[in-house]
């Protein structure tokens, strides 16, 4: 006899498959689709998005969830059943607040705004993107009202990416990060000549870059039997199942960092998805629990692993073998220091570990100003440049390297950006806990080996998928709520050593 919970899951499987088909269309659009296919692809994606939404928000689905909750009333809190139902209750309530008309308009505007952003960025012409961003801001304002909020409209949007977190909490954490990071950045600036990043700014053949990125992403634990490496303008990862989690990066012929660290970053995302428990297959729980937790996994692989001394002592000889003319004159210590150079930059995804958070704080503050109507879209380029000067001491030479650099504002995704910096803080807190619980992780890392660390992540984070909220997960794993302290300890120790402070 089929239980109420099993009947509910059959419906969820169907919706899940529609959503994954939508993601596959999106993946293809970013990686392979010819430019003239865009109009039809927007229609196709809008149809699937509308169908998935309509199927999920029916009265029948609400009744199925309610009866399954009653049936599973005694299920342990940590069980798959109780966790699925907690998530579905929350998600159903949220999705019921969205009208079919809003879902359709949001998909259409996002679909058309993206190619406008691509052109505007290529031409460094904000005016081409401005009318689309104005529509996106209006959609975000409408979305905040549809979801509802108590204190701040930004809360309604942030909650969809980092459940249960409030804007005031993020602001307090970011203020603490600024207070602690600025003196360290200033001390480093006074000793800037201590590090030379010339080793990574040379001609590097792209075919050899691809060979090396594939090798090092596999070395940290990304499974290519269940993965794929693609090329895009703006790197991302996507997952269709734990057995099909794909990554992308971009290749510069004269700068090594974007390919290396973009690949490691996206591999961290995909490894999280590859590590979800098989029992969560075809359900909403077979994903990372929040974008902040997800970002903790990518930033950990990109920075804590990929920019560590031990990592390059292990892998630098292989890189030298591929690029002997460029690298044989540099020692591994030279290369390690080069990839850790702290220097205010224009581009977020190429920022160093220390200054990266300032790029996110800038976007967090601008999103709130746009959402609240305190900043007009037409004034965004100037406001962006002013904040870059305030936070990083640099002014972008053009809008392509300024307010047009990210794809995120081509869709109503306000609330997303803070999760990038939260990910840095989660990563440091998780890593500090992992080493405290298993000191052999640090010993292995000093030799460039990640097996012990990945095993700890699989056990404590990956396998659970979305079973717990981010607040619950960080408390369960580290014994305390998220804070900035572990991150400050990490960057202070690392950069004091590199810059001899």
Residues taking part in catalysis? 266
User: CA-CA distance, 438 to 343, in Å (whole number)?
Assistant: 34
Torsion angle, alpha carbons of 444, 446, 450, 456, to 10: 60
Whole-angstrom distance, CA of residue 165 vs CA of residue 285 = 19
- Per DSSP, what are the bridge partners of residue 123? none
Question: How many C-beta neighbours within 10 Å does residue 123 have?
Answer: 15
- Rounded to the nearest 10 degrees, what angle do helices 418-437 and 291-299 cross at? 60
Dihedral sign from CA coordinates of 204, 424, 86, 164: negative
Cα–Cα nearest to 315, from 263, 278, 280: 263
Query: How does strand 244-249 pair with strand 229-231?
Result: parallel
Q: Evaluate the CA torsion angle 69, 71, 76, 78 in order and state its sign.
A: negative
Rg (CA), the chain: 23
CA 96-97-98 angle, to 5 degrees, is 90
CB 377 within 8 A of CB 137: yes
Q: Three-state secondary structure along 395-412?
A: CCCCCCCCCCCCCHHHCC
- In angstroms, what CA-CA distances link 387 with 367, 378, 395, 398, 451? 13, 16, 9, 15, 41
DSSP for 129-146 reads: HHHHHHHHHHHHHHHHHH
DSSP per-residue string spanning 151-200 = S-HHHHHHTTTSTT--HHHHHHHHHHHHHHHHHHHHHHHTTGGG---GGG
Within 10 angstroms of residue 428's Cβ, the number of other Cβ atoms is 25
- The enclosing H or E element of 249 equals strand 244-249
CB 296 within 8 A of CB 427: yes
Edge to edge, what strands does the sheet with 244-249 contain? 229-231, 244-249, 237-241
**Nearest alpha-carbon partner for 329 in 243, 481, 338:** 338
Rounded Cα–Cα distance for residues 136 and 111 (Å): 11
């Amino acid at each position: 006899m089929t239980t109420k919970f099993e009947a509910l899951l059959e419906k969820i499987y169907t919706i899940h498959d529609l959503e994954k088909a939508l993601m596959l269309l999106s993946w293809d659009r970013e990686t392979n689709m010819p430019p003239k296919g865009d109009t039809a692809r927007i229609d196709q994606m809008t149809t699937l998005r509308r169908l998935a939404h309509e199927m999920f928000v029916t009265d029948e689905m609400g009744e199925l969830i309610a009866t399954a909750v009653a049936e599973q009333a005694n299920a342990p809190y940590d069980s798959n059943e109780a966790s699925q139902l907690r998530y579905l209750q929350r998600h159903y309530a949220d999705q019921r607040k969205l009208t079919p008309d809003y879902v359709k308009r949001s998909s259409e505007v996002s679909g058309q705004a993206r190619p406008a952003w691509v052109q505007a960025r290529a031409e460094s012409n904000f005016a081409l993107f401005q009318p689309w961003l104005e529509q996106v801001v209006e959609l975000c304002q409408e979305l905040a009202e549809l979801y509802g909020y108590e204190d701040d409209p930004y809360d309604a949007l942030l909650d969809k990416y980092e459940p249960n977190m409030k804007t005031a909490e993020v602001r307090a954490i970011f203020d603490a990060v600024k207070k602690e990071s600025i003196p360290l950045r200033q001390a480093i600036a006074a000793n800037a000549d201590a590090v030379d990043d010339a080793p990574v700014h040379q001609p590097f053949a792209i075919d050899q870059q691809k060979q090396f990125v594939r090798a090092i992403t596999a070395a940290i634990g990304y499974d290519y039997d269940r993965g794929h490496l693609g090329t895009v303008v703006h790197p991302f990862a996507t997952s269709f199942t734990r057995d099909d989690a794909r990554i992308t990066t971009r290749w510069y012929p004269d700068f090594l960092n974007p390919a290396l660290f973009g690949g490691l970053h996206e591999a961290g995302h995909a490894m999280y998805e590859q590590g979800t428990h098989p029992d969560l297959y075809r359900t909403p729980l077979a994903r990372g629990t929040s974008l902040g937790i997800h970002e903790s996994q990518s930033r950990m692989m990109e920075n804590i692993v990929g920019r560590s001394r031990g990592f390059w002592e292990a892998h630098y000889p292989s890189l030298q073998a591929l690029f002997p003319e460029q690298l044989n004159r540099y020692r591994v210590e030279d290369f390690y220091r080069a990839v850790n150079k702290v220097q205010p930059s224009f581009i977020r995804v190429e920022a160093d570990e220390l200054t990266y958070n300032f790029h996110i704080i800038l976007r967090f503050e601008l999103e709130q100003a746009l959402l609240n109507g305190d900043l007009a879209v037409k004034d965004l380029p100037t406001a962006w440049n002013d904040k870059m000067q305030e936070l990083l001491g640099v002014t972008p030479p053009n809008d392509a390297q300024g307010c047009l650099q990210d794809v995120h504002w081509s869709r109503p995704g306000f609330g997303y950006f803070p999760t990038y910096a939260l990910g840095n803080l989660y990563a440091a807190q998780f890593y500090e806990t992992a080493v405290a619980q298993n000191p052999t992780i640090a010993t292995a890392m000093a030799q460039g080996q990640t097996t012990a660390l990945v095993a700890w992540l699989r056990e404590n984070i990956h396998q659970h998928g979305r079973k717990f909220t981010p607040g619950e997960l960080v408390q369960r794993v580290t014994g305390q709520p998220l804070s900035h302290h572990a991150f400050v300890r990490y960057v202070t120790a690392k950069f004091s050593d590199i810059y001899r402070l």
